[in-house]
Amino acid sequence: MKMKLKEVYSALKINVDSVPDVDITGVCFDSRKAKEGDLFFPLKGERDGHEFIGSAISNGVSATVWQSDHEIPNQEIPYIVVKNVSAAFETLAKYYLAKVNPKVVAVTGSNGKTTTKDMIAAILATNNNVAKTPMNFNNEIGVPFTILNMPINTEVLVVEMGMDRPGQIDHLSSLANPDISVITMIGEAHIEFFGTRDKIADAKMEIVDHLQEDGKFVFDGDEPLLTERAQKVEQKKLTFGKKDVNTLYATSIKAGKSTISFKTNLWPDLEFDIPMMGEYNVKNALAAILVGQALHVKPEAMAKALADLYVTENRTEWLKAKNGADILSDVYNSNPTAAIEVLESLKKISTPGRKIVVLGDMLELGSASKHLHESLADHINTRDFAKVYLVGDEMKALKTKLDQKYADNDLIWYNKDQLTELTNDLEKEVNSSDTVLLKASHGIHLENVLSKLV
């Protein structure tokens, strides 16, 4: 970002007699990360951001915003008074987006959106100046922040969009006005707030509400909830998936412990390699490849970009236990789709010893929780997993289902406050040749177990 403070006033449609000659090179809302050249927006979170203006000034910001219903003390640096800080933040973002005028790729989905965003950005960076959402800054604060912090020479902006209520993605899409909208998949994440997968699909489809007239819609063509709704979309549609009716589908998939490779129908002789485990990541890559093709990246360049991929948030991580056992850690996020995907991927990996799974509650599933926890039983059996450890009230439903398959000493349930007991049992049971999966929603805090094992 690069603006004079005078231009910021103009963008916000605020008329004043004189404006100090100050360069604004970025925006921030976290005073701890404030630096020289920043314009500080005191956004309201758990606390009022105005409480941290002093800290932002101490850390070197060049100007601040104040909301007019707050008393404005004497301060040494310039400030802009606005009626609503959040609205001003979004207004400035829309202005700056129009000024830079990059191609915008918007990405959402119940799973895989951060990985897909990183894949798209890597592919497009082979022949464009690309900016992307940092980490998973994908809400009403994260999207304008992403826009305002892109360099002035950005040619393509890749924006991740998340949601936890209807209308949210429509609003985020209105800020970004994407040229390409991508939906990775429809799962059960946040079903507590939406009730059904149909309603989740309706909410995700809001990403095309503000798609440019000549834009493109990229989505999972294997998902009936999307193919049905896509019929109403007038813009060009590009689909990916496993079925051969899709625009792009994978062939010759080869799964490894920490890599996966595949070929596609469009370039039968070109192999794509991803430094990540799991067939579910093939679909994320296919979505990214379709975006790359739409923006004229050569297939060989796309293959190299994916092979060299560095992802923002690779939650599924291979670690070594103190005793030498392999641990597949995914302790910060879980939902039925993601849990099934990692279980199925683990089945296909060759390991020297036993495979052991530790599963904690999957949260935010509402009235469907019991059924969705029970559904994991179809993917867990004694042939593939020698022992199963379950944690949390919701996992009682899965234990009841698995009681029919497992002996008592191979299927153990723990209350969520019994992590010490779980840790002790794992330390006694797990051998150096074993492979252990740890997966749960963050609220179960399996990271505390993980920290004792590695």
CATH number at residue 214: 3.40.1190.10
CB neighbour burial string for 222-237, b if at least 16 within 10 angstroms, e if fewer: bbebbbebbeebebeb
* Residue 92 within any structural domain of the chain: no
CATH number at residue 422: 3.90.190.20
* Residue 312 within any structural domain of the chain: no
* Residue 169 within any structural domain of the chain: yes
Question: Which candidate, 72, 71, 36, 73, places its Cα nearest to that of 57?
Answer: 36
Residues 112 and 80 in one domain: no
Q: Provide the pairing of β-strand 3-4 with 23-24.
A: antiparallel
Question: Which candidate, 348, 316, 364, 303, places its Cα nearest to that of 126?
Answer: 303
What is the dihedral angle through the alpha carbons of 347, 275, 315, 331, rounded to the nearest 10 degrees? Answer: 30
* Cα 154 to chain centroid, rounded: 22
Q: What is the mean pLDDT of residues 412-439?
A: 98
* Residue 194 within any structural domain of the chain: yes
Residues 281 and 384 in one domain: no
Helix or strand holding residue 400 (H, E): helix 396-402
CA–CA separation, 47 and 65 (whole Å): 16
Residues 73 and 109 in one domain: no
CA–CA separation, 335 and 368 (whole Å): 12
CATH number at residue 61: 3.40.1390.10
Q: What is the mean pLDDT of residues 441-452?
A: 96
Q: What is the mean pLDDT of residues 171-196?
A: 91
Ramachandran quadrant class, 436 (left: phi over 0; alpha: psi -120 to 50; beta: rest): beta
Tokens standing for residue 117? 């965003």
pLDDT digits over 331-367, tens only?
988 999 999 999 999 999 999 999 999 999 999 898 9
Residues 360 and 430 in one domain: yes
Residues 133 and 48 in one domain: no
Residues 143 and 290 in one domain: yes
Indicate the DSSP class of residue 128: S
Residue 37 marked as a ligand binder: no
- Determine the structural domain holding residue 257 and report its residue range: 102-307
124: pLDDT strictly greater than 90? yes
Q: Which pLDDT score, from 0 to 100, does residue 312 have? A: 62
CA–CA separation, 279 and 185 (whole Å): 14
Residues 191 and 268 in one domain: yes
**Tokens 């149909």, residue located:** 198
Q: Which pLDDT score, from 0 to 100, does residue 314 have? A: 53
> Average per-residue pLDDT in the chain?
95
Q: What are the start-end ranges of the H helices in 135-246?
A: 142-148, 168-176, 191-194, 197-204, 224-230
Residues 431 and 365 in one domain: yes
Residue 110 marked as a ligand binder: yes
CA–CA separation, 385 and 358 (whole Å): 10
Positive or negative torsion for Cα 16, 20, 24, 29 = negative
* Residue 149 within any structural domain of the chain: yes
pLDDT digits over 192-247, tens only?
788 899 999 999 999 999 999 999 999 999 999 999 999 999 999 999 999 999 99
CA–CA separation, 40 and 53 (whole Å): 8
27: pLDDT strictly greater than 60? yes
Residues 326 and 298 in one domain: no
CA–CA separation, 272 and 337 (whole Å): 24
Tokens standing for residue 221? 């063509």
CA–CA separation, 421 and 384 (whole Å): 25
Q: Which pLDDT score, from 0 to 100, does residue 233 have? A: 98
Residue 112 marked as a ligand binder: yes
* Residue 93 within any structural domain of the chain: no
State percent of the chain over pLDDT 90. 90
Residue 114 marked as a ligand binder: yes
Residues 262 and 393 in one domain: no
Q: Which pLDDT score, from 0 to 100, does residue 333 have? A: 87
Residue 111 marked as a ligand binder: yes
CB proximity list for 100: less than 8 A, separation 6 or greater:
150, 152, 154, 157
- Among 21-35, 166-180, 277-291, 303-317, which is the least confidently predicted range? 303-317
Residues 151 and 251 in one domain: yes
Number of domains, the chain? 3
Q: Which stretches of 109-235 are assigned E, i.e. beta strand?
A: 130-132, 156-160, 180-183, 216-220
Final residue before a domain boundary, out of 259, 276, 307: 307
* Residue 413 within any structural domain of the chain: yes
pLDDT digits over 375-401, tens only?
999 999 999 999 999 999 999 999 999
CB-side exposure of 339: number of CA atoms within 13 Å? 30
* CB contact at 8 A, 295 and 287: no
Residues 128 and 65 in one domain: no
Determine the 3-state secondary structure of 157 from DSSP.
Answer: strand
